[in-house]
Amino acid sequence: MIENHYDYCVEIHSKEDGLIAKCRMNIDWAPAVEDALWRGICLGVLDAFHPDGDIAIEPSFDPELQAPYIAGFSIRLPIANHPFSVEFNSQYFWMQLYPLTSLLHQQNQSGDKNAYYYQFFAMKKSSFVETETKSSIKIKALEPAFSMISIDLQSYREKSESVDNPQKEFPVFIRRTVLDECIEQSKEAGSLEIGGVLLGSVGKDKDETFLEITHQIPVQSPGTLNKLEFKPETWEYMRWKVQQRGVQGDWIGWWHTHSYLKDVCHKCEKYKTNSCHAGSLFFSTDDYAVQRTVFPRAYSVALVIGESPCAGLQYGLWGWRKGLMERRGFYVLDSNA
């Protein structure tokens, strides 16, 4: 259970009109809780994603603006004889506010990106009067477990190629065969989006935890030019395909392509004059929705493969960090490792 005695709210200010609204935020705490639990597991102070006792969420009041204004929040885990908490800054709230901020800036006629600014604050429950409607974001219970393997991490690093400066904290290793398969299927799909599930295991070497991606299972058919839909039958097909191939491993993420520029760029004047380097390597709000719904665990990742006539073939990895999806580095592991 989550113990939370505060309402987390936002003031919306306009440069022209000052304070224009105060809204209660219906926060989705699950990604932040996942992050705290995962850090506890990696540090060895927690054994599973379901600790005994309540998880406490508390505001971190801003030292300059003072209460009730906040700089973020903390999550305290119920670990006996070992106080353990994780701090999160106010950046966590921005994904929750995205629909509102996007709408406000669309309606802004001046074109000034800084026309609005926001201040977050926390009030004891039942002491705040709301002036705007609530967000529709809700918390969804999380259940899946994971398996842990033991591997010599140094030997893996020696047999790997680094991409995007891999973090020392929780390194990710992708088998070269997996990356090659995804790239090949991306080329076969042309400008249509395609994707699939990534299979692998969480590993441990002494005090260091890491992730190894060993297989991928592609979707049955590609999507449209700029959208890949995962329907209930898609997941049923994936499960059947995993059993058919006899593949071992946990569902630890997914991959998909952004190849629409293969079709779009040919109509662009900059492409014709060779004056553009536009790529399609990004993580969209639709991508986030898939990640949050299907792969919410703190160790889950997403591989994106982008290709355009101007920028060529690119690939990048995104993962959870402090409850947010951020681009991260990884290692490409030799197939014979």
Flag whether pLDDT at 174 surpasses 80.
yes
Which pair of structure tokens corresponds to residue 15?
A: 């440069």
Q: What is the pLDDT of residue 9?
A: 93
- State yes or no: pLDDT of 200 exceeds 60: yes
Residue with more model confidence, 283 or 14: 283
**For range 44-64, the mean pLDDT:** 85
Looking at residue 132, what is its pLDDT? Answer: 42
Give 240-291 pLDDT, tens digit per residue.
888 888 888 899 999 999 887 666 666 666 666 666 666 678 998 889 988 9
Q: Which domains does the chain have, with CATH numbers?
A: 2-124 (no CATH), 148-333 (3.40.140.10)
Specify the pLDDT at position 158.
92
Mean pLDDT of the chain: 82
Confidence label for 2 from pLDDT (cuts 50, 70 and 90): confident
HEC assignment per residue over the chain: CEEECEEEEEEEEECCCEEEEEEECCCCCHHHHHHHHHHHHHCCCCCCCCCCCCEEEEEEECCCCCCCEEEEEEEEECCCCCCEEEEEECCHHHHHHHHHHHHHHHHCCCCCCCCEEEEEEEEECCCCCCCCCCCCCCCCCCCCCCCEEECCHHHHHHCEEEECCCCCCCCEEEEHHHHHHHHHHHHHHCCCCCEEEEEEEEEEECCEEEEEEEEEEECCCCCCCCCCCCCHHHHHHHHHHHHHHCCCCEEEEEEEEECCHHHHHHHCHHHHCCCCCCCCCCCCHHHHHHHHHHCCCCCCEEEEEEEECCCEEEEEEEEEECCEEEEECEEEECCCC
Question: Which stretch, 10-19, 45-54, 231-240, 286-295, has highest mean pLDDT?
Answer: 286-295
What percent of the chain has a predicted confidence (pLDDT) above 70? Answer: 79
Instruction: Give the model's pLDDT for residue 267.
Output: 65
Residue 146 has pLDDT above 60, yes or no: no
